[in-house]
Amino acid sequence: MMNRRQFFQTAAAGAAMLASVPRAFAATYDIIVKGGRVIDPSLGIDAIRDVAIAGGRIAAVEANITADATETIDARGKIVAPGLVDIHSHAARTKEGPPLCLLDGVTGFVDAGSFGADSIDDGAAIVKGGPNLGRLLINIARTGVAPGGELMDISRADVGLARGAIARHRDVVVGIKARLSNNVAGTGDLEALRRAQEAAAPFDLPVMIHIGQSYSPMRAILPLLKRGDIVTHMYAPAPNGILDDNGRVFPDVLAARRRGIWFDFGNGVADHFNWDVVERAMKQGFAPDTFSTDWSTTSRTTGVVDFPNVMSKFLMFGMPLDQVIARATVNASRIFGAFNDRGTLNVGAPADVAVLELREGTFEFVDNYKGTRTGKQRLFPIATVNGGKRVPQRA
């Protein structure tokens, strides 16, 4: 029982709490990203807005937020987008990868097949230790990506080992990767894909296949894919890409998209795309569902550079800016459930923000065959907010 004095003390404390409520409503934010052109395709916004962040979450997206903030990021003249989500990366190969791509605005990434069952523990440790939201596709080959082709010996595609590794790492493994090129899988491409599906089935996980110069044609590969699976390196040149001998997108490929297979760009450095295939497919309206870099720390000085550079290649092909951003944010977030609350500046979402600059000028872009094309615009990473905290910029 409370005595009278204790009652009054409690009541006074309650009154003090009530008195503080109006102050709480006028609370300062942690960060305001001020005056930028907010482009968030998930919300249909393309307008000058301020973005307020508090407690690691997006608190408001409005014109002229006048409240105080601990930190202000001046985004005038810049683009403010949801944090970028890169669904085909190799950022987890080293512990330097995740913080390095974060500087490019990549607040979420999927390491696609660097690790197989033998090494997945290492990959899991890296993504869990990294600052951004990292997830893994386990390579169906127990070795992960390996020189000489990890699937040349099909016994490396060990379903039992893959399942065991997934079961140990359900929190970070979001799918399975199978690289099907002739120089990776030889004549075993279809069998490797069958085994990837077998390993994925008990966990209901998607499979991402890497195509291009495979032994088998797309018409044999695509029937082995299920709704929600992903084809990366979609613009890989012949043999056995998405175009027929006359440069038309195969009907099988169009049908696969209609039944819910995703098609991802996957920039990479060798054999994964040339301008001719991109141009032909884009002219037929066969654009990527998502962009991705196939990036690793060693590809910063190659044609990949960073995710905004990869996105800029599609500005060059005439894709509107908001559609370019959609393919690096909300579209990516829909493919893997782990990213469902990312790729958006919706109030309440984790505060992942990419501040980019769209520069006008003359910019040279390269394909995987040293082919160059010149664009008039390029996106550059300027600042990143990750989980409500500003990322310190490059020295």
| Phi, psi of 159, deg, nearest 5 | -60, -45
**Which CB, 107 or 181, lies closer to Zn ion?**
181
Q: Does 189 contact Zn ion by CB under 5 A?
A: no
Q: Are 286 and 314 in contact (CB under 8 A)?
A: no
**Binding range to Zn ion, per CB under 5 A, among 19-27, 134-142, 271-279, 288-296:** 288-296
Q: Does 294 contact Zn ion by CB under 5 A?
A: yes
- Rounded distance between C-alpha atoms, residue 296 and residue 293, angstroms: 9
Coil, helix or strand for 289?
A: coil
Map tokens 């409500």 to a residue: 388
**# binding residues, Zn ion (CB under 5 A):** 1
- Rounded distance between C-alpha atoms, residue 70 and residue 139, angstroms: 44
**Binding range to Zn ion, per CB under 5 A, among 67-75, 77-85, 249-257, 287-295:** 287-295
- Rounded distance between C-alpha atoms, residue 201 and residue 204, angstroms: 5
- Write down the least CB distance from residue 271 to Zn ion, Å: 11
User: Is it true that the peptide bond before 308 is cis, omega within 30 degrees of 0?
Assistant: no
Distance of CA 316 to the CA centre of its chain: 21
**Which CB, 50 or 150, lies closer to Zn ion?**
150
**Binding range to Zn ion, per CB under 5 A, among 47-55, 159-167, 291-299, 364-372:** 291-299
**Which CB, 38 or 145, lies closer to Zn ion?**
145
Residue at shortest CB range from Zn ion: 294
Query: β-strand 207-210 against 173-179: which pairing, if any?
Result: parallel
- Write down the least CB distance from residue 295 to Zn ion, Å: 9
Q: Are 232 and 208 in contact (CB under 8 A)?
A: yes
- Rounded distance between C-alpha atoms, residue 51 and residue 310, angstroms: 26
- Write down the least CB distance from residue 230 to Zn ion, Å: 12
Map tokens 């040279």 to a residue: 364
**Which CB, 172 or 351, lies closer to Zn ion?**
172
- Write down the least CB distance from residue 112 to Zn ion, Å: 5
**Which CB, 91 or 205, lies closer to Zn ion?**
91
- Write down the least CB distance from residue 89 to Zn ion, Å: 8
Q: Does 86 contact Zn ion by CB under 5 A?
A: no
Q: Which residues bind Zn ion (CB under 5 A)?
A: 294
